[in-house]
Structure 1
Amino acid sequence: MGKRILLIEDDLHISKMVVDFLTKEGYIVVCAYDGELAVEMMKKDAFDLLILDLMLPNMDGIDCLKIIRMDSLVPIMILSAKDSDIDKALGLGFGADDYLAKPFSLTELLARVKALIRRASYKTKENVDSIKLDGIEILPNSYSVIKNNQTIQLTLKEFQILNMLATNRNKIFTKEELYRRVWKEAYYEDANIINVHISRLREKIEEDPSSPKHVKTIWGIGYRWGDPHD
C-alpha cells in the first residue's frame, strides 16, 4: 500500500498539480485546504508525511505546525512562497523537517518526499526493542502498537499515556499525574483533555472501548493498566 501524505495547501492549482504528480508516483495524497481542517484530520487519521503551506486561511501554517507537533512526530515539509531565512528558521524551529520554496520543481519535491519518508522509516527500525504485554506489543521507536498482527499508529500523547500505564502496570495514575508527566505542565483541573485522549486511545487498542481491558478506569482515582484476571 502506498505511503499516505496529507497536503495542506489552499491554492487549488498547486494542490491539484502536487496531488496528480505524487499519485502517479504511487502515493496516497489527502488534501486539507486550511489549517483547522488539517489539525482535525490529524486527530482522526495517520499519515506518513505532511506537506504544509505557511499561508493558510483560518489558521496559519506555523500555528498548525505547533499544534500538530504536540501530538505527532510525523515528518513535516513546509511548502511556501515565503522564502526567507527567518521563515525557514521559524518553521524548522517549531518542528518542521524540511523546507521547499515556491515556485518549485516537482522532481525536487519528489526527491524530498522520498528522503523524508525514508529517513522516518530508518528511525522506526532503529532500537527495535518492544514491550509485549497482554496481547499487545508496544513499539517505542515508532509510537505504535501491534495487536492481532495489525500495526496501530498512535499520536505522541496517546503513546506516552499508554507507555506510562503499561510500564507501571501496578500503579494507579491520577489525572493530575498523567497530565503533569505527559504535558509537562501544571494541572488546572481540566479533566476533559485527559478524558479525550484516554477515549481515543481505547478506540484504537481495545476490542470493546466501552468495556476496556487494557486502560482501566479506577473510579474516583484515575487509571491503571488492566490485570488480565480482572
Structure 2
Amino acid sequence: MPRVVLVEDDPSVRDGVEMGLRRRGHEVLATATGEDGLAALDAFRPDLLLLDLMLPLMDGVEVCRRVRADSQLPIIMLTARGDDMDIVVGLEAGADDYVVKPARTEVIEARIRAVLRRIEAPAGVRPAVEHHGDLDIDRAGHTVLKSAEPVALAPSELKLLLFLSAAPGKVFSRQRLLEEVWDHSYHSDVRLVDACVRRLRIKIEDRSEDPRYIQTLRGFGYRFGPL
C-alpha cells in the first residue's frame, strides 16, 4: 500500500485521517507543521503527500512550492474551504488534487489512488518516442523531452499531456478532462484543469502566453498541437 506523509495541524482531523488510512493498510507518518512535514519527506520517503492548506507559520502553499522546487512527489491538498482563491493558489503551486474537509476516509483514499494511477507506466512493448516539434514524448516510459532536455512533470501534468497528445487536434472540454485525467465526476471543479494547463504550459511552451502545444478553444476546451 502507498506510504503517505500527512501534514495537518488540527489534532482531531489528523488523528482521524491517520487512523482511517492505517485501517486500510497505508503506512502513514503524521505531522502537525509544514516544517516537520518537509523533514518527514526525506526520512519516510512517501509515495504521496497529503497536505493541509491552512497551517501555522509555513502554510501548505509554501510547503507545496518547496516540494515542487526539486520533486514531482504527488500532492493532495486538504482544505476546509471549497470556493475561494486559496485553492487556486495551492493548485498553481503544484498540487495535483485537493479534498475539501471534512471528508470520509474512503473519499481521501479514492483520491490517493487516482493520483497514483497517473504515474503508473503501462505494461507491454515500449513504443517509439513520439515527436511533436521540439517535444519528444515517450508514452510508455512516461518521459518528456523538450529540445532534448528532460522535462519534470507532476503526475497530473504528465497525464494531461499524455491524454491530449494521444489525439492531436481533438478538442476536449474541461469536464471531459476532469473525468479522464482526474477521475472526477462531471460536476467537479474545473479549476483543477485550468491550473494544470497553466503549469504545463510554463514547462513545455516557448511562450506560455502564446501556446503551441496546449491550445485553448474559447468556449469549448483544450486541444494538443501543433496543427
Normalised to the residue count of structure 1, the TM-score between the two structures is 0.51
Would you say 1:112 and 2:111 are equivalent positions? yes
Aligned partner of 1:10 in structure 2 is: 9
Match status 1:65 vs 2:80: no
Letter in 2 for 1:115: A
How many Å separate the matches in 1 of 2:123 and 2:31?
Answer: 27
Between the aligned partners of 1:39 and 1:126, the Cα distance in structure 2 is 38
1:62 and 1:41 mapped to 2: Cα distance?
17
Residue 61 to residue 125, structure 1, CA distance change in 2 (3 Å): farther
Which of structures 1 and 2 has the bigger CA Rg? 1
* Aligned position for 2:50: 51
Q: Distance in 2 between matches of 1:110 and 1:76?
A: 13
The unaligned stretches of length 5 or more in structure 1 are 130-139, 143-155, 157-230
Distance 1:123 1:57, change over 3 A: farther
TM-superposed CA distance for 1:42, in Å, is 1.8
Deviation by residue 1:11-50 (Cα, 9 ceiling, x = unmatched): 1111111111111111101111100111122233311111
Would the alpha carbon gap of residues 126 and 20 (structure 1) be closer, same or farther in structure 2, given more than 3 Å must change? farther
Give the drift of 1:127.
6.3
Q: Match for residue 153 of structure 1? A: none
- Structure 1 segment 69-218 matched on structure 2, within 5 A: 69-122=68-121
The alignment-based identity, stated in percent, is 35
Aligned mates of 1:4, 1:18 — CA distance in 2: 14
1:93 shift after superposition: 0.9
In the aligned structure 1, how far is the partner of 2:96 from the partner of 2:123?
16
Deviations for 1:30-87, whole angstroms, at most 9, x for unmatched residues?
1111001111222333111111001112211111110011121111000011322412
1:138-161 CA-to-partner distances (Å, cap 9, x unmatched) read xx859xxxxxxxxxxxxx8xxxxx
SS of 1:100's partner is strand
Residue 24 of structure 1: aligned partner: 23
After superposition, the CA RMSD in angstroms is 2.7
Cα 1:11–1:103 change in 2 (3 A) is same
Greater than 4 Å deviation, 4+ residue runs: 123-129
CA contact (8 A) 1:7 1:30 kept: yes
**AA paired with 1:100?**
V
Structure 1 residues 15, 124: CA separation in 2 closer, same or farther (over 3 Å shift)? farther
Query: One-letter code of the match for 1:71?
Result: D
In structure 1, the residue corresponding to 2:116 is in which secondary structure?
A: helix
Q: CA deviation at 1:105?
A: 2.4
Uncovered stretches (5+) of structure 2, i.e. residues with no partner? 129-140, 144-151, 153-227
Q: C-alpha distance in 1, partners of 2:108/2:61?
A: 20
CA distance in 2: counterparts of 1:102 and 1:128, whole angstroms:
42
Distance 1:11 1:62 in 2: 17
* Aligned residues of 2:2 and 2:27 also touching (Cα < 8 A): yes
For residues 54 and 36 of structure 1, the distance between their equivalents in structure 2, rounded to whole angstroms, comes to: 14
In the alignment, is the contact (CA less than 8 A) between 1:4 and 1:49 conserved in 2? yes
Is the contact made by 2:3 and 2:26 (CA closer than 8 Å) also made in structure 1? Answer: yes
41 and 123 in structure 1: CA distance in 2 versus 1, 3 angstrom threshold: farther
Amino acid at match of 2:116: I
SS in 2 for 1:26: coil
Partner secondary structure for residue 71 of structure 1: coil
